[in-house]
Amino acid sequence: MSSVLVVHGGAWAIPEELARPSVEGVKAAARAGSSVLRSGGSALDAVEAAVRAMEDNTVFNAGHGATLNADGKVELDAIIMDGKTLASGAVSSVKNIANPVSLARAVMEKTSHVMLTDTGANLFAESIGIRTVPADELVSDFEKKEWEKHKNYVTGVIEDFSFQRDHDTVGAVALDSSGNVACATSTGGIRNKMVGRVGDSPVIGCGGYADNSLGAVSCTGHGESILKVTLARLILSHVEQGKSIADASKLALKYMSDRVQGGGGAVVVSPSGQWAATFTTQRMAWAAVERDELWYGLEQNERLKDQL
């Protein structure tokens, strides 16, 4: 079976100055994840590597470059899920951790729980030797400026999501040569969110889901809307009812838009290697590696090809 990896760098109205860096960033992440698959790594290893690449890139709202909460602090959420066993690990409201996706994986593999939050998640990170970084190291110049412009929570959230101006989330899905699928999603959440606010990203069935019998999904967009419609599982429910990956994604995103007026996007891979990158926002940077081809896009209906 040939492997597939698809990544997104967040669905939102990406401004011109971030358009090219966003596309370059998702292409680099897709290359990082697919090189893991090509050297025999699992889907789980590949989605972790791809998401780590975007967490390390300040262009994206995850890890370095994450949005700031109402107190001007970083609070990060992430999930990872293994489609073979339905094992899942997540963290929410963590600070000082550059790669929350790896901490989420440790929750999955080293504890009997599915999610750890806030202080407990940070204490767990310390106990297993996950490196912490000074909180300021995660804050980008772009985010400092944006946060200053939107210090008020109500203004920030309502304006940013009405006009899709909020920087949003990274994620990856993969199918490996053994037929296993996995997903991972990581985010700084919403700019000027209340302290302690947790969005969709770390919530199983909302920010991501993976099941070898149906496929894997990673979502992006307005967290409260995604939570209300359990977007990742909704997409796979449509797949369960016989829809293609692309139609299932479009139907679920349209439902979210009609029912709760939420914008967003998703990347999906099926157990047979079908994949889709779909969004209802103005733009979403995405990239996919299938056999030796690298596909990518930013605008609606854009599908470009590059050498791997």
Q: Under rule CB under 6 A, which residues in 217-246 are in contact with ligand GLY?
A: 220-223
Half-sphere exposure of 50 (CA within 13 A, CB side): 38
* 206 C-beta neighbours (distance < 10 Å), count: 25
Of 33, 189, 215, 297, the residue at the interface with ligand GLY (CB under 6 A) is: 189
192 belongs to the binding site for ligand GLY (CB under 6 A) = no
Residue number with CB closer to ligand GLY (161 or 295): 161
**242 exposed, middle or buried (CB, 10 Å; 0-12, 13-18, 19+)?**
exposed
169 as an active site residue: the answer is: yes
Q: Which of 58, 67, 169, 281 is catalytic?
A: 169
Q: Under rule CB under 6 A, which residues in 150-179 are in contact with ligand GLY?
A: 168-169
How near is the Cβ of 241 to ligand GLY at its closest, in Å? Answer: 25
Of 199, 208, 265, 271, the residue at the interface with ligand GLY (CB under 6 A) is: 199
Give the interface size with ligand GLY as a residue count (CB under 6 A).
12
Rounded alpha-carbon distances, angstroms, from residue 305 to 16, 59, 289: 21, 22, 10
Residue number with CB closer to ligand GLY (170 or 248): 170
Residues involved in catalysis: 169
Q: Residues interacting with ligand GLY, by CB under 6 A?
A: 168-169, 187, 189-190, 199-201, 220-223
